[in-house]
Structure 1
Amino acid sequence: MKYHLGTEGTFTASTGSTTKVYLAANPSHLEAVNGVLEGVVRAKQDRIDLGGAGFSVLPLLIHGDAAFAGQGVVTETLQLSQLRGYRTGGTVHVIINNQVGFTTGASSSRSTLYSTDVAKGLQIPIFHVNGDDPEAVAHVAELAFDYRQEFNKDVIIDMVCYRRRGHNEGDDPSMTQPVMYSLIEKKRSVRKLYTEALVGRGDLTEDEAEEALQHYKSELERVFTEARKSDGQQSSATQVAGLERPESQMEDAGVIIGWQTAVPDKVLAHIGAAHTRPPEGFNVHPKLNQLLDKRSQMSTDGAVDWAFGEILAFGSLLMEGTPVRLAGQDSRRGTFVQRHAVLHDRLNGAEWTPLMYLSPDQSKFWVYDSSLSEYACLAFEYGYSVERPDALVLWEAQFGDFVNGAQVVIDEFISAAEQKWGQTSSVVLLLPHGYEGQGPDHSSARKERFLQLAAEDNMIVAEPSTPANHFHLLRRQAYQRPRRPLVVFTPKQLLRLKAATSSIEDFTSGTFQPVIGDSSVDPAAVQRVLLCSGRVYYDLLAERSKREDATTALVRIEQLYPLDAEQIVAELDRYPNAEFVWVQDEPRNQGAWTYLITRLPAYVPVVAERGMRVISRPASAAPSAGTAKVHQAEQATLLEEAFAR
């Protein structure tokens, strides 16, 4: 909807003073934009970079009374306000308190006296003010601003007023709030009440008041007439003239010329060596000394594991001048004790972040542990990415299963914002995914949901199977234009699997591979091609080796959307005598199967000709079995079916 479209511009006061104003694009989902706006503001502040005095951008959030009390994301966002990774120096919250939510009265929509009572636990000052008194409202606004500037904390203005016409102009609220609206019908407007007060005090005459009113009406009429004259004459590209696109959304924002994803071997060695140079007197935890030495060794000798491959991507981008921000639950250490981007002094708790000490002219690296929230935190990172096209911005779920706690952000912003508002983002979602017998709440990041939302090149969905391909994918994401969100299904078991390591040459040459073919078999002898993605590839590889099977090829689809049809065609055409089978860990009604069977035949002629079947777990209401024993039995059956003739 046009009135949900964001813009930016300059406000000029009657005194001639000016200030820049940014309006965030927002959906009808109440309060969903809260975290997004905070992320945009933090990104602006980080770009200005005034250090401890850097709260030079003021976030202003406007709420309804029912939504403020009823939507949990309000509390999630308030909880971010004083956290190191999220603070913006205080937000001014303005509640337009109509004393009703659509048709629902306060007694049915909250259990507190005031809609603002949910904020009391955070010690946020709340100003209740009569909306019929403009001077009181202005006074409270000044108080709120002064408080924010002095203490860098959130503040709430609860403007108690009413809605004369109901939820929309055609709605009749008297059917559900008859007593309230019998009173409202008798009330004079705020303008009339204030005019009478000004005239009564002698601040202006009745003639001056009437003149001001007529001038205002004539201005409204003039703008309305101009709008009607231009209606239908503008192209679709300019039909929102006057709503300028924010600078960060320009097509050339953050563009880097001549980029590539491979890096010189000396860059890898430099990043590895940085992990063996702790600050003087820093006491590394005994369990981590070996890890740091190993990272230095991997940077020159190879056998690079997943976590260090990711560190190499971050470090190389920083050295090239691209800022990196990573946030999520336990992201500094990593849920699976793998990342260790920040180390803590064993004796005094001091912190050391090796990637912050690569070179004097490197870009900034921010890595934060978040609150235990998905909705507000993912919204924040999305907003940050919208405003910082020059940065690689990543949000990581503790387990991919928990990403559905932020489903509103995925549906309203990540998948649809470009189509709705022309708003682009390159935010990265790191979603741990893998069937290792950990049960239905720790196995699936719900590939099927993201693939259902994938259309019109709105996002990239990938599941790399090697550290090097993950490295190239992240570096490509930082530089590729036009910008698109990236959803990465990251591994758990593969973090320490020796078979899932990469050589130095894999990082210093090549680029991201959307499809990885099989060079270990004779194509003419292949009777079956098993297509797959993610960790199941290594199970299939081990099973094929165990069976000494030379008639089965393994092909990995590393980028699920958009599919690289050209590479898939080139790989599958190598096997003239083979049947095609998709193998997945997930149940048949989940995972990538239903998406692929509707897409591949249209893009890949050989699949349309020969068909493709699936080997998977049976269709299931839950993502996985609840016991390790059942999981192992299902996995054995899956592998048997994959190779049985």
Structure 2
Amino acid sequence: MIRINQKNILHFTRYYHSITGIYGNFRLKTLDQQHQQQQQTVKSDQNKLSFADQLIRQAFQRRGHELARLNPLARDDPSSSVEMSEIGSILGVDLNRYLNSVNESEETSVKSRQQFVGQLFAQYCGNGLSYEFSHLESMEEIEWFEQTIESINNKNNNNNQQQIDNDRIRIATSLLQAEAFDHYLAKKFQSIKRYGGEGAETMITFVEELIRCSQNGSTIKELVIGMPHRGRLNLLVNTLNVRPEIIFRKMTGKAEFNINDRSFIGDVLSHIYTSTEFGKTDEKQPLTVTLLPNPSHLEVAGTMASGFVRGRMMENTEGPYDHERNSRMERIPIQIHGDASFTGQGIVAETLTFSNVDHWTTGGSIHLIVNNQIGYTMPGRSGQARSTRYASDPMKSISAPIIHVAGDRPESVTKAAQIAFDYRNRFGKDVAIDLVCFRRWGHNELDDATFTNPVQVKSILKRNETIPREYARSIGMSDQDVQSVLNEYNERLNRALANSEQYEPPRSSDLYDRSKSWNGIEWPSLDMITKWKTTVDVERLKMIGSMAVNVPNNFNLHQTVKRVFNDRARKIQQNDGMDWATVESLAFGSLLADGFNVRLAGQDIGRGTFSQRHAMIVDQTSEDIFVPLNSLRDQPNYGQAGSIELGNSILSEEAVLAYEYGLSIANGKCLPIWEAQFGDFFNCAQSIVDTLISSGDAKWRLQSALTLLLPHGYDGAGPEHTSARLERFLQNSDSYQTKIDSDCVNWSVSYPTTPAQYFHLLRRQMIRPYRRPLIVMAPKMLLRHPKAVSRLSDLSDQSDCPKHFQPVLDDPIHIGGGKLDSIRSVIFCSGKHYYTLEQERERRSLNQSIALIRLEQLVPFPVEDIVRVLKRYHSNSERSLRWSQEEHRNMGAWNFVDERFRSIIGRQLSYCGREELSAPAVGIGQRHQAEIVQLLNDTFKTNN
């Protein structure tokens, strides 16, 4: 639609939405009413000011932050003070003219104007606070900020003096304990890297103020924190009530969980996590605060926190998942960043980009940038650690406000937290706090910062007092008062240290204690590979099939999609050969019918990269969208059915995959699927695969059902868009090389060749009583291959077909007990390469002498199934065993399979395939075709 506004500026609006809302994007019924109310209640006092006063006020609002002196290390520098003559120059206004151009007829005076300027200075760049909000696109938000900033002191002055004094003592005590904890660890564990928070202790003040705000009259139910290493131990013990014994045990080399089996490896000290309940009292409402685990790759945890919150909202049918459209987004992601990593790590920009995107928003994150003015050893200033003025400048890309605050002003930090909390809850958007502080020691306590930052270190050492002691003195605490706090706290730590040897840590994560969706979830068997019944009643499948192609009346469906839907309906009803996408819709629908939710995320996944899925349809006139499978819950006897969410993502892989992992560990009743546009797109998210998906369970004892669909196959597309790098996922598995696997592997890796196998794989993810990631080498060519089809009988329990996923598929032309004496070669393969071999075998008239065996699952490695098949072909001692693959020799499954055949099965395979290559595939069409000829000749040659 094209419309012209009052300024004759063209705006192109694509109405790509559902009028009534769809699952994962339901709009609040009261949204318009709230919007109108905000417009009525948020009014500026601007009209009461003269035109000249308004200009000065706006100048402070736009550029007052440039006048603020927030750096604790430069507070005593004479050059840091600002004279009145300089203010106008920085603000870009003629301040002298403003002060001296008072007419006699005006009621104002030079003195009153000076007072007005002083008042604006105090409000917008004094008292350890400054703001950036004039860039916001909404006048509502700008006016709200004006009113909030100019009334924040009045708000706090409304408290009685006793309450103010109590709050100050509480803040001082918390800061003193934070400092004491770091000092205690430094004394008792001198050689341990603890990444202390000294110099940035008020980050604890900030988080504790958010907790206080959440419990005092708000609707917030949960805060989910994603943060890196700096100050983490302090937050765990002093704010989130983690037993100090756990920290002390970990520092002496012991495990954080009481688990002795091979599957648990633990993680480093600075990655410990927890979930804490702050109980209901007469004055406070209950609140859950969850600190998620983090990898050492910076900024990943914040994105995980957003996904975790989304998963918790889905689990509790809140916000965009509320069919009744009544509930709000009552869980807040708290993303804590370092200044250098916030501007340096690309995942930050990706996460900000989808913060306001349908199916990805969480109603706003609160970002705390712990700006210690250094990135590892790089000075954290513009021109060195970044190209922007402030570390917080990336927030402007999403029209988010920024609050700058001095890290040595605890009460200013609490005000910043209050403003951020109120803004997020009112407008449902991200907001950032730039906490200007410093780092007392090097990158860690064993690091010497003077090598690269001698001047900064000298500035730190020149400080007469630490931030906690300075604040305690400023509020009137005596040395005796301070020492009393420290003595009591240190005695508590001493008791914990003495008890740490006898203390038994928990057996599992307390995250599961806060989530109903993990009830009944078990741990996988250490002894065997279990087969789970995944078939579905045929009548239920037909019903699901009809819903999958259900189109509302008067919906203008694309003609091609209409033909596809008609074809699907016919094949389901006639039990004809169904293609990949049709069977996928049955798998999704059957999981919904069982009460599970499904979330499919990725780039244009509603349609599908290859125009195969069409799980979401778009009205060709209105662009209204409809998800047919979600009409299942409206049918009789399906009222408890789950829903499918189709989260078309931004063009991102790293942040999207980290987000989906966070969602997966939050919600055990949802099947989260990420589909890459092409298999190698996961390359951009390699750190997420390595540090979260493949190892999260082993490190953190957190299960995940996250499923990756990676389109894979050699079809002449060139070095990229060909390979999903199967070999990397095999290398990242903890499958045994010399003994038989069990269910207890870090993930499953499969390369299914039929829609039915894919159906059983997806259902197995949720039917079995534990959760494991699944890596699927997904099809491209097989999506429409005439032989890659399945019937309802392959999916249902009303036939003699297997009732579960089959890790190994025997050759269909040699099943049935016929004579096998004529077979001279058994060729093992995996994936769509089977169909190439099958066609070539028939062309060469070798059906009776060659058996083709498919390994549909590579992890866990199906030794028993392979041995069972091999026994059928054992009578001919001259029979050769071959492995054929389309990938190059240094890629694919060859090295993985060869080692296990030799070490476990005791048989030698010969390799048939392409030779080694530096890239996944060649980019010359003629060479690609020549490789195919060579590969097939090698596979079917007489002597091998």
TM (normalized to structure 2)? 0.65
Structure 2 distance, partners of 1:276, 1:167, is: 58
Residues 322 and 275 of structure 1: CA distance in aligned 2, closer, same or farther (over 3 Å): closer
Matched residue type, 1:434: G
Q: Displacement, 1:636?
A: 1.6
Change (3 A) 1:507 1:584: same
CA apart distance, 1:415? 0.8
From 614, 618, 629, give the equivalent of 1:340: 614
Partner of 1:447: 726
Aligned equivalent of 1:504, options 789, 792, 806? 792
Work out the CA distance in 1 between the residues paired with 2:622 and 2:539: 34
CA contact (8 A) 1:395 1:428 kept: yes
Structure 1: how far apart are the matches of 2:666 and 2:473? 46
Kept after mapping to 1: 8 A contact 2:545/2:585? no
Other structure's SS at 1:500 match = coil
RMSD: 2.1
1:574-594 Cα deviation digits (max 9, x unpaired): 112221111111000000111
Summarize the Cα distance change of 1:359–1:451 in structure 2 as closer, same or farther, 3 Å threshold: same
Partner in structure 2 of residue 633 of structure 1: 930
Deviations 1:386-409 (A, max 9, x none): 111111110110000111111111
Distance 1:11 1:619 in 2: 58
Cα distance in structure 1, aligned partners of 2:820 and 2:279 = 71
Q: Please name the residue that 1:465 is paired with.
A: 753
Structure 1, gaps ≥5 residues long: 200-205
Bigger CA drift: 14-23 or 462-471?
A: 14-23
- Check whether the contact 1:307–1:339 (CA below 8 A) recurs between aligned residues: yes
Aligned-pair distance for 1:479? 1.9
Question: What is the match of residue 60 of structure 2?
Answer: none
The reply on whether 1:144 has 2:442 as its aligned counterpart is no
Match of 1:281 among 550, 554, 575: 554
For 2:810, the aligned partner's letter is: G
Q: CA deviation digits over 1:12-68, x for unaligned, max 9?
A: 699655411111111111011222111110011122223354310011011110110
The residue that corresponds to 2:535 in the other structure is: 262
The aligned residue for residue 194 of structure 1 is 471
Superposed CA deviations along residues 181-212 of structure 1, whole A, max 9, x for unmatched, are 1111111211232233223xxxxxx44x632x
Residue in structure 2 matched with residue 624 of structure 1 by the alignment: 921
Alignment partner of 1:226 is 2:503: no
Between 1:444-453 and 1:515-524, the stretch displaced more is 515-524
Q: How does 1:427-576 map to 2 (within 5 A)?
A: 427-455=706-734, 457-509=745-797, 510-521=803-814, 522-549=819-846, 550-576=848-874
Contact 2:518–2:668 (8 Å) recurs in 1 = no
- Give the match for residue 170 of structure 1: 446
SS of equivalent residue, structure 2 residue 290: strand
Q: 1:493 to 1:573 in 2, by over 3 A?
A: same
- Give, in whole Å, the separation in 1 of the partners of 2:764 and 2:518: 17
Structure 1 residues 338-383: Cα deviation after superposition (integer angstroms, max 9, x where no partner): 0000011111111121101123312111012111000010111111
Q: Secondary structure at the match of 2:687?
A: helix
SS at match of 2:758: helix
Which residue is equivalent to 2:582? 308
State how far apart, in whole Å, the 2-side matches of 1:253 and 1:409 are: 28
How has the CA–CA distance of structure 1 residues 325 and 224 changed in structure 2, closer, same or farther, with 3 Å as cutoff? same
Q: Which of residues 79, 90, 93 in structure 1 aligns to 2:364?
A: 90
Q: Identity of aligned pairs, percent?
A: 40
Instruction: Give the match's secondary structure for 1:69.
Output: helix
SS for the counterpart of 1:442 is coil
| 1:164 counterpart SS class | coil
Compute the displacement of 1:275 (Å).
4.2
User: How many pairs align?
Assistant: 630
1:255-295 residue CA offsets vs partner (Å, 9 max, x unmatched): 79x97311111122112222453112101111111111111
| Counterpart for residue 631 of structure 2 | 357
Judge conservation of contact 1:587–1:616 (CA < 8 Å) in 2: yes
Give the Cα–Cα distance (whole angstroms) in 2 for the partners of residues 80 and 246 of structure 1: 30
Amino acid at match of 1:210: Q
For residues 508 and 500 of structure 2, what CA distance do their matches in structure 1 show? 11
The answer for the alignment partner of 1:19 in structure 2 is 287
Deviations 1:451-485 (A, max 9, x none): 00100600000010000000001000112233111
Q: Is the 8 A contact 1:432 1:490 kept in 2?
A: yes
Query: In the alignment, which residue of structure 2 is the partner of 1:331?
Result: 605
Please name the residue that 2:196 is paired with.
none
* Alignment-derived partner of residue 180 in structure 2: none
Matched with 1:41 is: 309
Residue 216 (structure 1) aligns with:
485
Residue in structure 1 matching 2:904, options 593, 596, 603 = 603
CA drift of 1:251 comes to: 7.2
**Structure 1 residue 430 displacement after superposition:** 0.5
In the superposition, relative to structure 1, how do residues 17 and 218 fare at CA in structure 2: closer, same or farther (>3 Å)? farther
Give the Cα separation in 2 of the matches to 1:16 and 1:263. 48
Partner of 1:583: 884
8 Å Cα contact 2:887-2:920 kept in structure 1: yes
Answering whether residue 704 of structure 2 is matched by residue 425 of structure 1, we say yes
Aligned-partner residue type, residue 109 of structure 1: A
Aligned in 2, Cα 1:275/1:420: closer, same or farther, shift over 3 Å?
A: closer
Contact 2:521/2:769 (CA < 8 Å) preserved in 1? no
Q: Does 1:615 align with 2:935?
A: no
Q: Which amino acid counterpart does residue 314 of structure 2 have in structure 1?
A: D
Q: Secondary structure at the match of 1:302?
A: coil
Aligned residue number for residue 108 of structure 1: 384
Asked if the contact 1:76–1:373 (Cα under 8 Å) also holds between the matched residues in 2, the reply is: yes
Task: Give how far 1:77 is off.
Answer: 0.7
Structure 1 residue 247, shift from structure 2 partner: 4.0
> Matched residues in 1 for 2:360 and 2:384: separation?
33
Cα deviations by residue, 1:203-242 (Å, 9 ceiling, x for unpaired): xxx44x632x23432343233223322333345x64899x
- The match for 2:221 is none
Letter aligned with residue 173 of structure 1: A
Q: Counterparts of 1:64 and 1:351 in 2: how far apart (Å)?
A: 40
Q: 1:12 to 1:66 in 2, by over 3 A?
A: farther
- Separation in structure 1 between the aligned mates of residue 425 and residue 617 of structure 2, nearest angstrom: 34
Partners of 1:275 and 1:293 within 8 A in 2:
no
Post-superposition offset of 1:547: 1.2
**Structure 2 gap ranges (5+):** 1-267, 524-530, 736-744, 798-802
Q: Which residue of 2 aligns with 1:203?
A: none
Contact 1:580–1:613 under 8 Å retained in 2: yes
**In 2, are the aligned partners of 1:68 and 1:115 still within 8 Å (CA)?**
yes
Change (3 A) 1:108 1:523: farther
- Confirm or deny: 8 A CA contact 1:64 1:95 kept in the other structure: yes
Aligned to 2:300: 32
Of stretches 48-57 and 181-190 in structure 1, the one that deviates more from structure 2 is 48-57
The corresponding residue for 1:67 is: 341
**What residue number does 1:380 align with?**
659
Sort the Cα spacing of 1:114 and 1:376 in 2 relative to 1 into closer, same or farther, 3 A.
Answer: same
Equivalent-residue separation in structure 2 for 1:275 and 1:411 (angstroms): 36
Q: How has the CA–CA distance of structure 1 residues 210 and 536 changed in structure 2, closer, same or farther, with 3 Å as cutoff?
A: same
